[in-house]
Structure 1
Amino acid sequence: MLPVIRFLFKLILCVLLALTVGFGYLAAQSGDPFYTVYEWISPARFQQYDKLIAAVAARHRLDPMLVKAVVWRESRFDPEKYGTAGERGLMQVSQKAANEWAHENRIDNFR
């Protein structure tokens, strides 16, 4: 009985090692391995703003993947994040930049 248990243990260990190497390879082949791994771990967090990002990107004729990349880089999809220089939100926009954008786009009720 002991050789069977030893064999199963080695088999399970080999399968786990192969899976780890395979997932590591796939993550390394992506543009951002950390993003890929985090997305595998928590897919809902990485997809919760997709509709908003797509709408904003379409409105401003931008690639939605570019907008999503900026959001990931700046805030890691945390809408409550505050930067060290007062930047806020998903894209970490400063108050000055937001006011300039609102003025250029003639948005009167911007706060």
Structure 2
Amino acid sequence: MDGKFVAYYRVSTAKQGESGLGLEAQKAAVEAYLNGGKWNLVGKFVEVESGKRKNRPQLNAALALCKKQKATLVIAKLDRLARNLHFISGLMEYRTEFLAVDNPPANRLTVQILAAVAEEEARAI
């Protein structure tokens, strides 16, 4: 893997954040994916917040750094970024590059389908 990356890790509850288990698994997945390439991790952001919320300070900071550094946002799984199809589509529309390491070859259609599934999971939760 080559280029600049900004990592974003999110868990939904304070209990998950305190245990660190969800965060550690996300970090391990991102590090395993990036391992061995000519890449530069220019930032790491951690947030304990619901994926349903649109206003997340750490995500906003991560996206701002991506734009400034012309970097790709890297996440462990798409649902860690958001459980909102409109939000994901907005990132794609405004050419914000992001990569979910659990499905790196996903194209626009696949990402939108997975975002719709994540949104439905959020409703069920």
TM-score, with length taken from structure 1: 0.31
- Structure possessing the higher radius of gyration over alpha carbons: 1
**Greater strand percent: which structure?**
2
- RCO comparison, higher one (Cα < 8 Å, 6+): 2
TM-score, with length taken from structure 2: 0.29
**Greater helix percent: which structure?**
1
